[in-house]
Structure formats: C-alpha cells, structure tokens
Structure 1
Amino acid sequence: MGSGAAVGLLTMPYINRVLGPEYIGKVEYINTIINYFLLFTALGIPMYGIREISKVRNKPAVRAKILTELLIILGVTSIISYLLLFGVLYNLNYFASYRDIILIMSSMIFLTNIGAEWYFQGVEDQLYITLRYVGVRILMVILMFLFIKSSDDSDIYAFCIVLTSCGANILNFYVLSKIIYRERKSIKLLNVRRHIKPILTMFIATISVSIYLYLDYLLIGMLADDKNIGYYSVANRLVRFVISFITIIGAVMLPRLSFLYKEDKELYFVYLHKSFTFLLLASLPFTVYFLVFAEPIINLIAGKGFESSILTMRIISPLCIIVSIAYFMGFLILYPQNKEKIYTYATLISAVFSIAVNFFAIKYYQQNGAAVVGVLSELLAIIIMSFFLKKNSMLPKLFSGNFYKIITASFAMLLVSIPLIIFFQKGILYFVLISLCSWGIYLLTLILLKEKETYHMLGRLIKTVK
C-alpha cells in the first residue's frame, strides 16, 4: 500500500503533464467502474479474511482450509462479475470510446482475487508483501517513463495502473498454491456456507464506504465531464495517497489486535491507545499541510491546466484526520470485537446521504461539490459510530493530556505555515524549504511538549546512535 502511494507521488507530475486532465479523467472513470466490480466479487472477504486468518495463524492446516473456502467463493463471484462486465457494460454504446481501457483494466478482477492479499496480512508477513510490491512497482515506473509519451498512450497508463494494483498477485497465487498443496491431506469437509453471513455483513459496509469513495468519480463523469474527473482525481489521489500511508498503521495493527482481543484484552487496549496516538501524529499535520500548501503542491505535481484542483484539495484536506478516526473506530475497535454490524450501519447511512446529496452538489459545483459531500459523509460515519461506541461503553479513554499536545503542535504548524506560504512562495526551492520549516516546527513542538510517543522514539534514536 505504502509503496503504491510512493510510486504514485513519483509518477504523477510526469503523467499529469503528458496525458492532461481529460485523458486522466477517462482512465480514472473506468478504474472507478472496475473497482465496483471488484467490490462485488470480494464480498467483504479482504477484511474478513485478515481477521479469520489472524485468529488461526499458528494452525497451518486450519489456515489452509479457510484459504481454500474463501478462494472458492471468490472464484464463483469472479465468473459472475465477468459475465456482467462483458455481457452488459462492454456492449453498451455509451462506453464505445472506453472499450480498450475496459478490456485492459478488467484483468484487475482476476488478478486481485487470485492474489488473496488478505491471507498474507493475516499471518503478518509484511516483509514478503513489501519486497514483492516494491519490485513490481519499480518495473511499472520504468514502463511509464519509457512508453507513455503523449495523450495517445492512455491505454498504456491503464495497463500500468493494473500492474501497480495487482501485478504482484501472480507471485501470490504461486505461493498460495504451494500452501494449499502442502496441506491438501488436512483440507477435508470444506464448509463454504459458514463464511457467507459474516462476509455479506462486511460486504454491505465495504460497498457503503465505496459508494462515497468511488461514486463521486462516477457521478462527475455523468453530470460533468472527463476534465472535471481529472481535476478531482489529482487532488483526491494526492490526499488519498497520504491517507494510505497513515492507515498502514491500522492495517499492520489489525491482525495483532484481532489476536490480542481474543488472547490478552489488557494488552489489546495498550496497543489500541498506541494506534490512536500514531494515527493522530500522522494525520493532523497532513491536514494542515494540504490545507495551507495546496497551491504549490498542485503546481508542482500537476502543473498548468490543473488550477481548478487547488480549491478541491483544500476542501478534502480534513479527510486525513477524518478517515484516520473512522478507520480506527471501524477496524481497530469494532472489527476485532466482532461488532462489524455497527460499522455497517454507519457506512450504510453515510452512503445513502452521499447518494442523495451528490446529485445536487456535483450538478452545480462539479468536483468541489463532490469533495464537500465526501468530507461530510465520512464525518457522518464517525458521529454514528461514536454514538454506538459510547452507548455500549466500547470507546476507551483516548483524549488525555497527550492528545492535546498533538493538537497544540498541529496548531503551531498552522500558525507558522500561513505567513511562510504568503511571503516566500517563489519557486520549488522555497516550497521545499518552507515545507521543511513547517514540519520542523511541528516536530520541535512535540519534543518541547514531551509528547509521549515522539519522546519515546527520540530516546530510542539517541540510544541507537550512541
């Protein structure tokens, strides 16, 4: 996930300038549609699989059985998905100009499902995940710079997105095949039906989140045009790239928290509090950074022709903190405790709100309307989850003195950043220097206030150097 974000940040300035907002919008539009098909085939298995595999990570035979059962479900849903995709969508005249891109990006359905990324996350094999993805994404960067030379190369860009997202899953499938073959004698009396109810519960939550995660692209394409998708895509992808880095904290902690909630609840709450602190430490300053530095960021990453993305980025900047808190409540509190229904209700209500308001917002305000609705939808989900958590006494004490230290450091960063960006915005060098200054103020304030986790990491760093 993190390597994908890094690759995106590296290649975006080049791709944005070569393809332009219209052709980027075209690829992103089809990418959105394919992602809906992916959601259908997954049926909530990615998150469910992480939890179930993490519970039995010390039992290879049981792991292999769960893996086989879930892969069977994915196989069936993949076939249905392809029948719908090519039987209906591919033959509609409306998508005639998109057919080549649809054909290329449809391979994501097969590659994603055979890769079973959730299995490796469940057993916490982070080294394997990282090395494999880094290798594939280095290859993708080389292909982009070698073969994408003009707006006519949008098909190659679509292929590169496929390679980035799930090209490494071919290797996954080889490893998984060996695991299943090794435990084949232990895999008896498969019970696929036992997974249906929990994965459907998670599926409703996943599809609800994705409605306001991807619906904006779909509706901008229907109610505005491909250029507006391009403007929205640049701002949204940059913010989402950073969010993907931040939520790595949660993705890494989810298997451990699922295991600890079952085995050691006291340690579970210790790790839960640490996770919350790290999420805040990362998300609050990035919210400030995108809000204040939107203009130079867009100019650097996208260049001329994308000025309309500046306001969009400022509108969606709060998503860094909002999504982090929603992720914390939904996946680090509710999901390990088997209370995913609460998360499902919250996201379902937010999705209905998003659908109802987006038609009006996008019709009159294009990508900026979608940005406002996206922020409000995520915020609504947090409010609903908070209500249920407090009502059921499931929300641990989080707002300690340490929390206010992080708030203070972020506010100090904001106060310093505003005059810097007003008086010293004169080029890339100045942008880099004032960015470093802003982040330096944030870090220095955390140290002076003796923020718990920062002070702890600083102490370990000094000890290591000595």
Structure 2
Amino acid sequence: MKRVVSIKSNYALNVLRVGSGAAVGIITMPYLNRVLGAEHIGKVEYINTIINYFLLFTALGIPMYGIREISKTRYKPAEKARTLVELLLILGITTVISYCLLFGILYNLNYFASYRTIILILSSMIFLTNIGAEWYFQGMEDQLYITLRYVGVRILMVIFMFMYIKTPQDDHFYALCIVITSCGANILNFIILSKVIYKEKEDLKPLNIRKHIKPILMMFIATISVSIYMYIDYFLIGSIVGDKYVGYYSVANKLVRFIISFITIIGAVMLPRLSLLYNEDKEVYFKYLYKSFTFLLLASLPFTVYFLVFAKPIINLIAGTGFDASILTMRIISPLCIIVSIAYFMGFLILYPQNKEKIYTYATVISAIFSVGANFFAIKYYQHNGAAVIGVLSELIAIIIMFVFLRKEKMLPKDILSVNTYKIVLASLTMLLASVSIVFFFPEGMVFFLLSSFISWAIYLLMLVLLKEKETGRILHTLKFKLI
C-alpha cells in the first residue's frame, strides 16, 4: 500500500513539473527566438553541445548508475553515505581532468576566440552538475524536493531572462540562463548531501572506489554513445554549414526533445522502484513494468501525431516566420517521441534493473557509429534536415537491436502487445486522420490553431474513453471518485 501511494505522489509531482516546464517554455521560447535570432541561438547551442561532451566525460556513467545504487541502499544509511562519498570522489577527479582539458586546449584555440565568454559561462555547468548529484535525490525518490527546486529555478530564470536579454548581442545572458536552468540549485543540493555524509561520518570507512569502476564505465560507454547521436548533429551542423542552421535545427529539436524529456519522466519515476522490485518482488516488478509501457505509449503516440501535423503553426508561434526552415525538421523528428520512449523502456526499465546494461551499451555504440558516419554526408548535402533524418534512424537502430535481444531472451512482458495496446494505437490513428482533416479545412491563424489543437486532443481522449482503454478508465474513475 505504501508503494502505491508513493508512486502516485511521485507521479503527481512530476505532472506538476511537466506543467510548469511547459508554461516556462511557452513564455520564453518565442521571446528568445525573436530577440536573439537563429545565428545567436545557434552560437550558444553550438558551445553548449561541446560543453555537454565534457560534462559527459566527467560524469562517466554515474548519473544512471547512482540512481540504481542509491535506490538499493536507501534503507541502509551508512552504506548509502559511503556509496555517495565514493561516487562524489570519482566525480571530483574527473572534474579536475575535464577543466584541465577544457581550458588547456579548447579555450586557447583561435577557432573559438569569438566564443570564449560563452565557453567560460557554460563551463560552470560541469562543476555545478557534479557537486549537485541529482542521481542521489532520484534514487531516494525525493520528488517533492526535486519538484520545488525545479519550479523555483525556472521562475528565477524567466525573471533573469526578461531583465537582461534585450538584443542579439545578449547571447551570453542566454548562456547564463541555460546554466541557471540546468544546475542553478545544485549548491543547495550539495549542502543537503554534506549533511547526509556528516551524519554517517563515523561509518564511512573503508571506502572502495574500485568496485564502481567497471559498472560506471559500462554505463559511460552507453551514455556517451547516446549523446553522440543526440549532440553530434549540433556540432557537425555548426562546423560544416554554420551557426544559422544550428539555430534552425535547435528550435525544432529542442521542442520535440523538451516533450520527450517529460514523457520519459514517467519511466524515470519508476526506475528506482523497478530497480528495487526486481530483486524483491518480480511479480510486482512486471506489473509496474507493463503500467510504465502503457503510460509511455499513451503520451508519446499523440505527441508524435501532434508535431507531425501541427509543425507549421507550432514553429510560427514559438519562433516566428524567420524560422520557417525548422518546419520540415520538426516533421522529420516527430517520430522520436514514440521511438525514444520505447528505447527508454527497453534500455532503462527492462535491461538496466536486470543488470543487462551491456546490451543497451552495444545497441547505443552501434547507433553512434552509424550516426557519426552518416551525418557527415547528410549534413553536407541536406543541412539540418539531413541531421534530423539520421537522428531518427540512429534511435531506430538501437531499438531494433534491443528488441531482438529481449525477444530472444524472453524478457519482454507477456502482455506487452495486448488488446489495450492496440486501443491506444487506434486512438492515435484516429487523432492523426482527424488532425489532418482539421488542418486542411481550418484557415491559418492563432485562434484557429488553438481551437484545432483542442479538437485534436479531445478526439484522442474521446477515443480512449470509447475504446475503454484501461489506464484512462482508471484515471477517470479516480477523478470521479474524488470529485464526488
């Protein structure tokens, strides 16, 4: 009973985060795109991509590994504190090495002379991210703290942005906004972590860093591989065809990835619990696994349809007519909503809790190799749209590899393709047909866009109710019970 209530609370808090994050995006993205323009946004995103690679190096595989290990030791204070210290020590070593490389090589290259202020600002994310140890709070399932901090930081970012970003030359303030959003509250995290460590200071020894090296390196290979085909496109677009095309690509990709990050929060809420349940109660583990898949499908399929059909009005609303080149890009990458959700489900909710992360690593390495090789050709001839196609294909390759293994080892839930799954698919197809018809007959304009969006989502929800989809029925029943 305790577990069910905890998961419901965590889910509710994540819904609050989704709503607040969406509200901030709607408020800030149109302003930023219009004030800064494609070239200046592309300039910041180009350096942000490079800094993210340094950040990935320093983190190794600890963000995902840490969630699992903290989850396992959450009821053992001394062991938990010891694990925390060991992982923070590893992060401390890699952080020092990363800064030596960053300022010793990158910062002094003439090629990056015009980017130095942005490099300096964004590089602070390396230190702040690593001392913040977000993985600790996720492993502890402390969703209330994460949510309050998330909302507070974004409010601060919005205020800062409207105060200081007035012209295209204020792109360094945009870089600072990225830092605030990503890790602005991590100093507070570190204070909390210090108290956790201090409380168990008598039982911290002996420390054993070596036992973590192999598993975090395995996760590091997987993480860096995923990041190659998530970020290499930004780097190559900027290097091959210029910052302007990074800006076009960034608008479409960030909007879609923004939604994806919130869809996969459904899985992120379940990951610590699934890691614990796989060792304690496999029956409940598979029950929650199926629920996670259903919710991922319920959220990702309609968003795939929405971005595909409504790409033009979305781009015009968020970025303006100066970003018309982003419309086709958004349509190309719209399937990532469902593709990434399935990849997350297979990789982190099935393979990872069962200690089969090697398969996920192999899949992502192969996808990364394909991405790097294909992107040189695609970007050279098709600019940002070429990168979009390769991004979708790379994620698809990873899914196929994981699916073949899971099916061979019979690790997929038996009812994964149940009648209920087909009901969600049918509701999404109905939404697609209805949305295409609406766009064809409705004139362009903000009012009609909002109205057609509402009608499309209403049709999807109505179909779920008419088809008696299980989770939708349960949610409506719960709402009805609480209202009465």
Query: How high is the TM-score relative to the length of structure 1?
Result: 0.99
Secondary structure in 2 matching 1:430 = helix
> Which residue of the partner structure matches residue 202 of structure 1?
219
Is 1:426 paired with 2:444? Answer: yes
> Which residue of the partner structure matches residue 382 of structure 2?
365
Is 1:184 paired with 2:201? Answer: yes
> Which residue of the partner structure matches residue 422 of structure 2?
404
What amino acid is the match of 2:424?
I
1:244-265 per-position Cα deviation (integer Å, ceiling 9, x unaligned): 1100001110000000001000
Query: Which of 339, 359, 365 is residue 322 of structure 1 equivalent to?
Result: 339
Is 1:242 paired with 2:256? Answer: no
Query: Which of 465, 469, 478 is residue 447 of structure 1 equivalent to?
Result: 465
Tell me the number of residue pairs that the alignment of Structure 1 and Structure 2 aligns. Answer: 466
> Which residue of the partner structure matches residue 136 of structure 1?
153
Between the aligned residues of both structures, percent identity stands at 75
Query: How far apart are residue 421 of structure 1 and its match?
Result: 1.0
> Which residue of the partner structure matches residue 269 of structure 1?
286
Secondary structure in 1 matching 2:201 = coil
Q: Distance in 2 between matches of 1:187 and 1:198?
A: 21
Q: Distance in 2 between matches of 1:78 and 1:10?
A: 34
> Which residue of the partner structure matches residue 289 of structure 1?
306
> Which residue of the partner structure matches residue 310 of structure 1?
327
> Which residue of the partner structure matches residue 458 of structure 1?
476
Query: How far apart are residue 9 of structure 1 and its match?
Result: 3.5
What amino acid is the match of 1:399?
L
> Which residue of the partner structure matches residue 386 of structure 1?
403
Q: Distance in 1 between matches of 2:459 and 2:262?
A: 21
> Which residue of the partner structure matches residue 129 of structure 2?
112
Secondary structure in 2 matching 1:185 = helix
Contact 1:12 1:302 (8 Å CA) reproduced: yes
1:253-280 per-position Cα deviation (integer Å, ceiling 9, x unaligned): 0000000001000000000000000000
Runs of 4+ in 1 over 6 A off after TM superposition: none
Contact 1:276 1:328 (8 Å CA) reproduced: yes
Secondary structure in 2 matching 1:290 = helix
> Which residue of the partner structure matches residue 93 of structure 1?
110
Is 1:37 paired with 2:79? Answer: no
> Which residue of the partner structure matches residue 229 of structure 2?
212
Is 1:395 paired with 2:422? Answer: no
Contact 1:234 1:302 (8 Å CA) reproduced: yes
Is 1:413 paired with 2:431? Answer: yes
Contact 1:261 1:268 (8 Å CA) reproduced: yes
1:428-451 per-position Cα deviation (integer Å, ceiling 9, x unaligned): 111111100000000000000000
Q: Distance in 2 between matches of 1:30 and 1:39?
A: 14
> Which residue of the partner structure matches residue 437 of structure 1?
455
Is 1:102 paired with 2:128? Answer: no
What amino acid is the match of 2:468?
K
> Which residue of the partner structure matches residue 74 of structure 2?
57
1:214-257 per-position Cα deviation (integer Å, ceiling 9, x unaligned): 00000001111100000000000000000011000011100000
| Consecutive unaligned residues in structure 2, runs of 5 or more | 1-16
Query: How far apart are residue 100 of structure 1 and its match?
Result: 0.3
Q: Distance in 2 between matches of 1:195 and 1:18?
A: 46
Query: How far apart are residue 6 of structure 1 and its match?
Result: 4.5
Query: How far apart are residue 425 of structure 1 and its match?
Result: 3.4
What amino acid is the match of 2:85?
T
Q: Distance in 1 between matches of 2:462 and 2:454?
A: 12
Is 1:11 paired with 2:44? Answer: no
What amino acid is the match of 1:367?
H
Structure 1 residues 53 and 330: CA distance shift in structure 2, 3 A: same
Q: Distance in 2 between matches of 1:82 and 1:33?
A: 13
What amino acid is the match of 2:417?
F
1:154-194 per-position Cα deviation (integer Å, ceiling 9, x unaligned): 00010010000001111000000111011100111100011
Contact 1:5 1:245 (8 Å CA) reproduced: no
Contact 1:284 1:410 (8 Å CA) reproduced: yes
Contact 1:53 1:63 (8 Å CA) reproduced: yes
Q: Distance in 2 between matches of 1:100 and 1:284?
A: 41
Is 1:171 paired with 2:188? Answer: yes
Q: Distance in 1 between matches of 2:26 and 2:46?
A: 20
> Which residue of the partner structure matches residue 71 of structure 1?
88
Q: Distance in 2 between matches of 1:13 and 1:125?
A: 33
Query: How far apart are residue 390 of structure 1 and its match?
Result: 1.2
Contact 1:4 1:164 (8 Å CA) reproduced: no
Q: Distance in 2 between matches of 1:6 and 1:190?
A: 44
Is 1:341 paired with 2:380? Answer: no
Counting only pairs closer than 5 Å after superposition, residues 147-158 of structure 1 correspond to structure 2 as: 147-158=164-175
What amino acid is the match of 1:422?
F
Q: Distance in 2 between matches of 1:34 and 1:27?
A: 11
Q: Distance in 2 between matches of 1:197 and 1:231?
A: 40
> Which residue of the partner structure matches residue 140 of structure 2?
123
Q: Distance in 2 between matches of 1:178 and 1:396?
A: 41
What amino acid is the match of 2:403?
S
Q: Distance in 2 between matches of 1:324 and 1:287?
A: 11
Q: Distance in 1 between matches of 2:151 and 2:295?
A: 24
Contact 1:40 1:77 (8 Å CA) reproduced: yes
Query: How far apart are residue 396 of structure 1 and its match?
Result: 1.6
Secondary structure in 2 matching 1:218 = helix
Query: How far apart are residue 137 of structure 1 and its match?
Result: 1.1
Query: How far apart are residue 5 of structure 1 and its match?
Result: 5.3
Q: Distance in 2 between matches of 1:314 and 1:343?
A: 27
Q: Distance in 2 between matches of 1:380 and 1:72?
A: 36
1:322-355 per-position Cα deviation (integer Å, ceiling 9, x unaligned): 0000000000000000000000000000000001
Q: Distance in 1 between matches of 2:441 and 2:240?
A: 39
